[in-house]
A and B are shown apart, each in its own frame.
Chain A
């Protein structure tokens, strides 16, 4: 149950990233949760509103995509998704591989923000 810590970290990270963008509200937040990230999506959804309360993320819609674990196999020279995270083997040739290429991280992919004023083409920050 470290999802509350992650929720606070998410809110903090988003606020930091959009500090200069004149956002008055975050409409939606798209996250990517790797299967090995150790994040329970359900617990995160439960704790996020607590962390977001009183901020411009308060009413943001949470879109959380689950990302499968992929490993690189030296024999096949290819990255493929694991069949099960209980067996770190190349799904093509069956050889053991612990060389993970995706599925470990919990990322903020993008956010949709509402800005107070209608401006012409905005400057791009990221």
Chain B
């Protein structure tokens, strides 16, 4: 018997990252811009996404949506009400989406038919942070009902955000949500990031959000 040390310096998420890079190239080639929406459960991701899909459709853009949940296809049904193709990814026990689940659920779609692909992640502020899905932009949502200090409690996820969207802002006043403090906390983790305030129920900030999303669009391939 003899023993030896083998130096590896290998990233453990290598497999997911490699697949995510391949997906990103595929999205790029098809000219589709991809958003990964991440937040805690109950932030109002689905409602805001549905309104966003409708508005983008009115603006003449073609979108598709994938939505992850442990069980039920309720959210895909809700998103499909926007008139946009929507598919459910059921993870059963898994707490986050991985690149291979996204890849499998794209089957049968011609990506070049779409301007935008939205991936609504599992409601979770911990695990989705580490899993690249090949997206261009990671949208992290924070609702007025959950308190201003979420960015400080979950710095890892907020650090990976490209934009932070405040949701349920119609409830900011009754919940005594301090927007300035929330923004300060976001900036502490992610200096200089764009922050957009919205209310899906009241339609507040929807135009701004859609303008932002459209500004992220790739040049035509």
Binding site for B on A (CB under 8 A): 1-2, 5-6, 9-10, 12-14, 17-18, 21, 27, 31, 36-39, 85-88, 96-98, 100, 105-116, 118-119, 122, 125-126
Bound-state CA distance A119–B126 (Å) is 47
Q: Are A1 and B159 in contact (CB under 8 A)?
A: no
B180 at the interface (CB under 8 A from A): no
Residues A1 and B95 in contact in the complex (CB < 8 Å), given A27-B3, A110-B7, A110-B8: yes
Residues A18 and B6 in contact in the complex (CB < 8 Å), given A9-B12, A9-B15, A86-B189: yes
Q: Are A126 and B129 in contact (CB under 8 A)?
A: no
Q: List 20 A-B contacts (CB under 8 A).
A: A1-B126, A2-B95, A2-B131, A9-B12, A12-B15, A13-B10, A17-B10, A27-B3, A37-B156, A38-B126, A85-B189, A97-B191, A105-B11, A108-B8, A108-B10, A109-B7, A109-B9, A112-B5, A113-B6, A118-B2
B152 at the interface (CB under 8 A from A): yes
How many chain B residues sit at the interface, stated as a range, is: 35 or more
Which A-B residue pairs are the 3 nearest by beta carbons? A96-B191, A2-B127, A38-B130
* B residues near A36, Cβ cutoff 8 Å: 155-156, 159
* A residues near B189, Cβ cutoff 8 Å: 85-88
* A residues near B159, Cβ cutoff 8 Å: 36, 85, 88, 98, 100
Bound-state CA distance A26–B200 (Å) is 54
Bound-state CA distance A124–B10 (Å) is 16
Bound-state CA distance A53–B78 (Å) is 42
Number of A-B contacts (CB under 8 A): 118
Residue in contact with A88 in the complex, picked from B8, B94, B131, B188, CB distance below 8 Å: B188
B4 at the interface (CB under 8 A from A): yes
Residue in contact with B130 in the complex, picked from A27, A37, A125, CB distance below 8 Å: A37
Bound-state CA distance A113–B6 (Å) is 7
* A residues near B11, Cβ cutoff 8 Å: 105-108
B177 at the interface (CB under 8 A from A): no
B14 at the interface (CB under 8 A from A): yes
Bound-state CA distance A5–B131 (Å) is 11
Bound-state CA distance A9–B16 (Å) is 9
Residue in contact with A115 in the complex, picked from B2, B13, B126, CB distance below 8 Å: B2
* A residues near B16, Cβ cutoff 8 Å: 9
Closest to B152 in A: A86
* B residues near A18, Cβ cutoff 8 Å: 6
Residue in contact with A107 in the complex, picked from B10, B156, B192, CB distance below 8 Å: B10
Residues A88 and B129 in contact in the complex (CB < 8 Å), given A5-B94, A36-B156, A108-B8: no
Closest to A124 in B: B6
* B residues near A105, Cβ cutoff 8 Å: 11
Closest to A10 in B: B12
Closest to B130 in A: A38
Q: Are B12 and A108 in contact (CB under 8 A)?
A: yes
B187 at the interface (CB under 8 A from A): yes
Interface residues in B74-90 by Cβ distance below 8 A to A read: none
* B residues near A17, Cβ cutoff 8 Å: 6, 8, 10
* Residue among B1, B12, B96, B159 facing the most chain A CB atoms (10 A cut-off): B12
* A residues near B10, Cβ cutoff 8 Å: 13, 17, 107-108
